[in-house]
Structure formats: structure tokens, C-alpha cells
Amino acid sequence: MNNTLCIDSQDISFESGQSIMQAACAAGVFIPHLCFHPDISPHGSCRLCMVQVDGRLLPACTTPAMAGQKIENNTDSLNAQRRLVTQMLFVEGDHICPGCEKTGNCQLQAVAYFLGLLEPGLPQMYPTRNIDASHADVLLDFNRCILCELCVRASREMDGKNVFAIGGRGQHAHIVINATSGRLKDSALSIEDRAVDVCPVGALMKKHQAYQKPIGQRFYDQNPIDQKGDANSHQRGEKT
């Protein structure tokens, strides 16, 4: 059987069991995303990877690749929807890029540049959220969390700890720390945990390591997020 699908008029081969996102990543085709990680089970929470599959709007990260699929990814209408979602993420939290240690290594920032966003475009909400600096090695800034649930899934699937969960619903949804006190210092989190490394923004940060690589020399400073292979290697923690 010929395992080939078509994304934006480009024929792509895929392996049985792959999702559209996995097939696209393997072929070096960039589909915007924030909650997808190549080593973690897909969740489909960020909705940035929505594509038109044979006329149907579906998330690329959870939709199986099937032979003969005709997929539209880089279209004006899809990118307009992605810009709106990205704008909402910026204004719903504290994402002031020039003052963030993650700048240049932030996937949210890189996606915004890819989509042509240079300003929020929506009223800032200025939420009042806590910062948990109780852990000796890791800081959690709730203001920057985008609820991608990567840390939740990484802690469960890769670290075997279940340190994080999501509590609340709608605009009240938030990260929960599985400790009696609700603080990082009383959790099983370790600085070596993959849950710390997979955060695509500046919500989970390792302490005592700020600005080891100067701004201007960081990953997305050198490699646009849609450059073939780079986004995946960065997510896997590979050096470039």
C-alpha cells in the first residue's frame, strides 16, 4: 500500500500509525503547534495545529495519517485563526518577551513571529497569579502558563511522578501541583525531570542558569521555527 498524503500540494510519505503532525515533522513540513511534543502522547489542547483534511477541520496532532488525504495547512484562513489563538494566549498571561529569560528560546514567541504577530492586538487582561519559587532548583510562574499540559503529560509519562495536573475550568483553569501544600518544594519534582524541560514558554524555569546563552544567540534567534527539522530537535533537547 502506498502510504502517501498531500499537504499543501506536497506529497509526503508516512509510516503506519503516525499522525498527520508526525508525518509532517518527519518530512520537514511545519504545522504551528504548542502542545505537541514528539516524545509525549498528543493532546490537541492548543488548537494551533488545526488543518483542513479533505475539507474537514481537524487537529493534526491527533488525526491519523491516511493514504490519499488532501491537507491544507498554510492558508490565509487557518493562519488567521492561529493568529487569534496566539493573540489570546499573549493577553491572557504575562508574556512580555523583552523581560523574559526564555526570549529567543520560547516557542510561543517563535510561533507569533512565524504568524506575523508583532503586537498583541487585543486588550491585555493583566491577571493576578502567583509565582512559586519555593523549590530549590525550579521556579513556576503561573502568569506564563498557557495550559498546554506538556508538563502534566511529561511528568506522568516520562518521569513517572504525576507532579502536575490541571484544575478548574474555562478562564479559571490552572496548573495544580500534586503536594499537600500545593507548592513545588513539597512535590516530587527534580531539576532533572523532563517535565521541567518541555515547557514551551517561561512558566517552568531552572534556577541559577539565567542568561547562560546571550539573547541574540539563542535557538529561535538563529533558526526560525518553520525551518526544517529545527523545531523538533529543539523540543527533543538536541544541540544544533
Query: What CATH number is associated with residue 68?
Result: 3.10.20.740
- Is 86 part of a structural domain of the chain? yes
- Strand pairing category for 70-72 and 4-7: parallel
Asked whether residue 66 is assigned to any structural domain, the reply reads yes
Q: Are residues 70 and 128 in the same domain?
A: no
Which pLDDT tens digits describe the chain residue by residue (240 residues)? 579 999 999 999 999 999 999 999 999 999 999 999 999 999 998 999 999 999 999 999 999 999 999 999 999 999 999 999 999 999 999 898 988 999 999 999 999 999 999 888 899 888 888 999 999 999 999 999 999 999 999 999 999 999 999 999 887 899 999 999 999 999 999 999 999 999 999 999 999 998 888 989 999 999 999 985 445 555 555 543
Integer angstrom CA distances of residue 134 from 84, 94, 116, 181, 207: 35, 20, 37, 11, 11
DSSP helix/strand/coil, 76: helix
Position 233 in a domain: no
The reply to whether 140 falls in a domain is yes
Q: Count of domains in the chain? A: 2
Could you tell me if 121 and 145 lie in one domain?
Answer: yes
Residues 115, 20, single domain; the answer is no
Neighbours of 92 (CB within 10 A): 18
Q: Please check whether residues 192 and 104 belong to one and the same domain.
A: yes
90 and 70 within one domain: no
**Cβ-based neighbours of 144, under 8 Å, separated by 6 or more:** 93, 94, 95, 100, 102, 201, 202, 203
> Quick one: which of 90, 44, 45, 32 has its CA closest to 226?
32
Residues 30 and 110 in one domain: no
- Among 32, 59, 74, the domain-final residue is 74
Parallel/antiparallel/unpaired status of strands 56-59 and 70-72:
unpaired
Residue 238 lies in a domain: no
Domain final residue pick, 26, 43, 74: 74
**What is the tens place of the pLDDT at every residue in 125-181?**
888 889 999 999 999 999 999 999 999 999 999 999 999 999 998 878 999 999 999
Q: Does one domain contain both 103 and 201?
A: yes
Average pLDDT, the chain: 92
Range of the domain at 150: 81-225
Residue 170 is part of a domain; what is its CATH number?
3.30.70.20
The last residue of one of the domains, among 74, 102, 120, is: 74
Q: Between the CA of residue 24 and those of 4, 77, 195, 203, 218, what are the distances in Å?
A: 11, 20, 25, 28, 25
Q: Is residue 230 part of a domain?
A: no
**Domain-located, residue 15:** yes
The confidence score (pLDDT) of residue 238 equals: 52
d(CA 27, CA 90): 30
